[in-house]
Amino acid sequence: MTLLEVRDLSVQLQTKTGFATAVDRLSFTVNEGEILGIAGESGSGKTMTALTLLGLLPQHAKVSGSAKFNGQELIGLSSKEWQKFRGAQIAMVFQDPMTSLHPMLSIKAQMTEHMVTHLGISQQQALVDAEELLADVRIPDPKKALNSYAGQFSGGMRQRICIAMALACKPKLLLADEPSTALDVTVQAGILTLLNRLRKEHQLSIIFITHDLGVLSSITNKLLVLYAGREAESGSTSTILQLPRHPYTQGLLDSLPQPDSNEKLLKSIAGFPPELGKQPIGCAFAERCKFAAATCSGDELLPTYLADSHKFICAVDPFAGLSINQVRP
């Protein structure tokens, strides 16, 4: 059952020199109970996509395309209508738990304010529920925690609180924007386990955003790799991780630390992504790509579709021979 269907979603942001495309004709779907991973370097449009789905883009941003949530079109909602969705149907957990909790409001206040707004329950009821939620995310002594302030918790604990807060109104879709990146590796694992458990228990769909393909591999079903606001490659997680077809995806995988390797230096992709609004018409990755050829630039590139909804956009396709079941529609 499809929960979210995104078609040709584009976002343009205003800059000093005019409008720049931050998200370029993106399409993907998320089914109920499914975890979609979105990967890419910073500036690739991951977070912008998530913010679009929450209606939190800057006021002057231009959005086109369609995003249907449970059959309802989200694009073009008024700010009043967005408020009903946000937090209630679609919730978000942000990257840095150290800064996304308000330092001067008690956890109690922050846990319950949207419950009262969205669910129309009393403050007392909200408090009872909040305590349960905190227990659910394994916060020790939830009662005491409710009366505490963000500053009194460690990063991992704060992220658990943020997750509890996001789930407070029982949303169907959770947007997790690098929820574990800022945390220690051991804490990271705990958060990932938690999310996975919550997904099962709450019938939750999750869009998990990260630059770390290693993290995605452990929990996601589907993967979408973005580069400079455009889709580079998408498909099932296992397929892509085993046989990536886009040089960029390969580059991301290469930059992961190899547990069995003694190499201390990570291989990172040379160069930087193009500046916002300066993406070339052809492949945006071409200038950093060691396989780049004349065909990469100039015309707009067509996607290549493979079996198992695997799709990539590359004119050179340097790993072609390595894959099986190549199909052209």
Do you know the residue count of the chain? 329
Residue from 113, 212, 287, 317 in contact with other proteins (CB under 8 A):
113
Q: Any contact of residue 100 with other proteins (CB under 8 A)? A: yes
Give the H or E element holding residue 6. strand 2-15
Q: Is residue 101 a contact residue for other proteins (CB under 8 A)?
A: yes
Spatial CB neighbours of 4, under 8 Å, sequence gap ≥ 6: 29, 30, 53, 67, 68, 69, 173, 205, 207
> Per CB under 8 A, does 96 bind other proteins?
yes
CB of 293 to other proteins, least distance (A): 32
Q: How many CB atoms lie within 10 A of CB 240?
A: 29
Based on the shown chain and the rule CB under 8 A, indicate whether residue 181 belongs to the binding site for other proteins: no
| DSSP secondary structure string for all residues of 138-200 | T-SSHHHHHTSBGGGS-HHHHHHHHHHHHHTT--SEEEEESTTTTS-HHHHHHHHHHHHHHHH
Q: What is the dihedral of CA 156, 159, 165, 169, to 10 degrees?
A: -110
Q: State the maximum Cα–Cα separation within the chain, in Å, rounded to a whole number.
A: 66
Q: Is 186 in the site for other proteins (CB under 8 A)?
A: no
Q: Of 144-152, 195-203, 237-245, 279-287, which segment contacts other proteins by CB under 8 A? A: 144-152
| 327 near other proteins, judged by CB under 8 A | no
Q: Are 232 and 226 in contact (CB under 8 A)?
A: yes
Q: Does position 56 bind other proteins by CB under 8 A?
A: yes
Q: Give the per-residue contact string, 230-249, with other proteins (x = CB under 8 A; - = no).
A: --------------------
- The distance of closest approach from Cβ of residue 49 to other proteins in the complex, given in angstroms and rounded to an integer, is 14
Contact between 79 and other proteins (CB under 8 A)?
yes
| Residue 27 DSSP SS3 | strand
284 near other proteins (CB under 8 A): no
Q: Say whether residue 42 binds other proteins (CB under 8 A).
A: no
Q: Does 165 bind other proteins (CB under 8 A)?
A: yes
Q: Would you say 18 and 32 are in contact if contact means Cβ atoms under 8 Å apart?
A: no
Q: Report CA torsion sign: 295, 297, 298, 302.
A: positive
Q: Is the dihedral of CA 156, 162, 167, 168 positive or negative?
A: positive
Determine the interface stretch with other proteins among 1-9, 86-94, 241-249, 252-260 (rule: CB under 8 A). 86-94
User: Per CB under 8 A, which region of 77-85, 228-236, 241-249, 264-272 contacts other proteins?
Assistant: 77-85
Binds other proteins (CB under 8 A): choice among 6, 92, 187, 269? 92
Q: What are the tokens at 269? A: 């992709």
How many other C-beta atoms lie within 10 A of the C-beta of residue 152? 12
> Least CB distance from residue 95 to other proteins, whole Å?
8
Which one, 113 or 317, has the nearer CB to other proteins?
113
Question: Binding string, 7-36, against other proteins, x = CB under 8 A?
Answer: ---------x--------------------
Q: Where on the chain is the footprint of other proteins (CB under 8 A)?
A: 16, 54, 56, 79, 82-88, 91-92, 94-96, 99-106, 109-110, 113-114, 117-118, 148-152, 162, 165-166, 169
